[in-house]
């Protein structure tokens, strides 16, 4: 993990760096077909919830971020493709778990990299929600508590 990055925590009502976050979200949509939602939905999510992020030191680029709802439901976690495998995702989750007693999320059954990542961090399988995603993919419902 590079040492030159900036950590940011945002509370509901703040929308700092939303443009950089949108660019990263769209990159991942193009790369892997996940995170389909449009800008309006994304803006509501980003602005209304808690955000933990790593940015480049000049804050020009979003390296990675997560959006977590008040009760600890993680709607999105994303790290820029060329920065993956360097501990950014883990670091963002470590920041997040300091603020929530437990965190839950869903991950596509086909997203094996993310499943390994979450399990490695300590998330456990709660359930498999059949056809959870629009395209019919099942969703693994995962939960982390300390």
Residues that bind ligand COA (CB under 6 A): 28, 77-79, 84-90, 105, 107, 111, 113-114, 116-117, 120
Nearer to ligand COA, 13 or 30 (CB): 30
The strand pair at 62-68 and 74-79 is best described as antiparallel
The residue number whose beta carbon is nearest to ligand COA equals 89
Residue 118 · residue 74 · CB < 8 Å: no
Minimum CB separation of residue 4 from ligand COA in Å reads 16
By beta-carbon proximity to ligand COA, the closer residue of 13 and 140 is: 140
Least CB distance from residue 81 to ligand COA, whole Å?
8
Q: Between 31 and 44, whose beta carbon lies closer to ligand COA?
A: 31
Closest distance to ligand COA from the beta carbon of 41 (Å) = 16
Nearer Cβ to ligand COA (13/145): 145
CB of 91 to ligand COA, least distance (A): 7
Give the CA count within 13 Å in the CB-facing half-sphere of 86: 15
Question: Strand pairing of 50-55 and 62-68?
Answer: antiparallel
> 73-98: b or e for each residue (b if 16 or more CB lie within 10 Å)?
ebbbbbbbeebeeeebbebbbebbbe
Whether residue 41 contacts residue 18, with contact meaning beta carbons closer than 8 Å, is answered with no
């Amino acid at each position: 993990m590079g040492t030159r990055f900036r950590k940011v925590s945002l509370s509901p009502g703040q929308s700092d760096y939303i443009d950089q976050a949108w660019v990263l979200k769209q990159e991942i949509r193009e790369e892997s077909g996940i995170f389909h939602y449009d800008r309006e939905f994304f803006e509501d999510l980003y602005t209304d919830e808690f955000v933990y992020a790593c940015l480049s030191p000049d804050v020009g680029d979003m390296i990675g971020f997560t959006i977590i709802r008040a009760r600890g439901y993680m709607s999105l976690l994303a790290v820029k493709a060329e920065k993956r495998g360097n501990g950014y995702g883990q670091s963002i989750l470590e920041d997040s778990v300091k603020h929530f007693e437990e965190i839950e999320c869903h991950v596509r059954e086909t997203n094996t990299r993310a499943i390994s990542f979450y399990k490695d961090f300590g998330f456990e399988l709660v359930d498999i929600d059949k056809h959870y995603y629009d395209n019919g993919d099942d969703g693994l419902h995962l939960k982390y508590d300390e």
